[in-house]
Amino acid sequence: MTQEKITLYKMRDFSAKVNITIEYIRHNFLPLVKVVLLVVAPIALILTLLMKYWMGDLAELQNNPGADPFGTLSRLGPTYLLSTFISITSYTFLFTAVYGYMKMNQDQEEAPSPVEVYKLILPKLPMVFILMILISVVSLIGLVFFIIPGLYLMITTSLAVPIYLFENKNIGDAFGKSFTLIKGKWWSTFGLLIITGIISALISYLFAVPLYGKMIIDLFSKGADQVQPDLLFTSWYSTFALAFMLIGSYIAYLIPVIALSFQYFNLSERVEARGLRNQIKGFETLA
């Protein structure tokens, strides 16, 4: 099915970037969700099982004051690290798949299929994973010393992933260009991510209703002293509800991910006029 095209490289003010993010998702919602669900949903299911394991153990520890807390925590340590690794992997797939879709969708008449998108992005996934690890480490180092430097570095390096994917830069150049593009536009980038992050979080809460609804019902119907925390996290209903919540959170996270790309397109057009240069090249080809 032919999709309505939206100009990517274009200067936009703050409200226009929020609006174009919502408009892009509205026009491409089903294809984007299919791309996300193809890989992110199975990863979310794996995360659900891991979370079910360590949340159940933590609840059991709370329920059994006589248990050895250090033994439980040491047993949960590797599971937590594995969960963190898988979580970063899932966001690597999410960013790469969404930006791969946007890039392909701009270059062809019909919306690309999930298989087409993943054929394009598979070679790029390892480097995007490394790039996201580096961004996390740099931000974490800043946070260890002071919160403000960490937050500054987190926003300043946020464009490295779209630069790497849309421009085929190496990691070093992507980092350097992210600093260049955001120079003077830090606050607008920060504000855009905050606003779209809040919208994403509010939508994510809708997917959490089945899980927390069951918890609230149990608390009111049985009383707090009768609810067993370990059963609350290890029942099959809670497992499916937790998986539903995680998958929904990835879908909702499309909003800040796509908003970040439009900030990249906006700043790239302001600094380099990439969209204008592409149009000129197109006219030269037709001449």
> What are 110's strand-pairing partners?
2
Residue 98 has a pLDDT of: 93
- Model confidence at 201, pLDDT cuts 50, 70, 90, reads very high
- Model confidence at 283, pLDDT cuts 50, 70, 90, reads very low
pLDDT tens figures, 205-219: 999 888 788 777 766
Whether the per-residue pLDDT at 194 is higher than 90: the answer is yes
Domain boundaries, the chain: 14-286
Two tokens, residue 105: 């969708």
Whether the per-residue pLDDT at 84 is higher than 50: the answer is yes
Residue 15 has a pLDDT of: 93
- Model confidence at 106, pLDDT cuts 50, 70, 90, reads confident
Higher pLDDT, 203 or 221: 203
Higher pLDDT, 146 or 35: 35
In the predicted model, what is the mean pLDDT of residues 189-213?
A: 91
Residue 16 has a pLDDT of: 94
Host H or E run for residue 283:
helix 274-286
Residue 1 has a pLDDT of: 47
Whether the per-residue pLDDT at 187 is higher than 70: the answer is yes
- Model confidence at 153, pLDDT cuts 50, 70, 90, reads confident
In the predicted model, what is the mean pLDDT of residues 139-143?
A: 75
In the predicted model, what is the mean pLDDT of residues 143-147?
A: 68
Percent of residues, the chain, with pLDDT higher than 90: 33
With vertex at residue 260, the alpha carbon angle to CA 158 and CA 115, rounded to the nearest 5 degrees, is: 105
Residue 282 has a pLDDT of: 46
pTM of the model as a whole: 0.82
Residue 163 has a pLDDT of: 94
Residue 57 has a pLDDT of: 58
Higher pLDDT, 269 or 272: 269
In the predicted model, what is the mean pLDDT of residues 128-147?
A: 80
- End-to-end alpha-carbon separation of the chain, Å? 30
Residue 42 has a pLDDT of: 82
Higher pLDDT, 217 or 248: 248
pLDDT tens figures, 3-24: 557 888 999 999 999 999 999 9
Higher pLDDT, 170 or 51: 170
Residue 195 has a pLDDT of: 95
Question: Which range is least confidently modeled, 5-19, 114-128, 251-265, 267-281?
Answer: 267-281
Residue 169 has a pLDDT of: 87
Residue 213 has a pLDDT of: 81
Answer for the pair 258, 29: CB distance below 8 angstroms, yes or no: no
State the Cα–Cα distance between residues 104 and 109, nearest whole angstrom: 9
DSSP state letters, 109-165: SBPPPHHHHHHHHGGGHHHHHHHHHHHHHHHHHHHHH-HHHHHHHHHHTTTHHHHHH
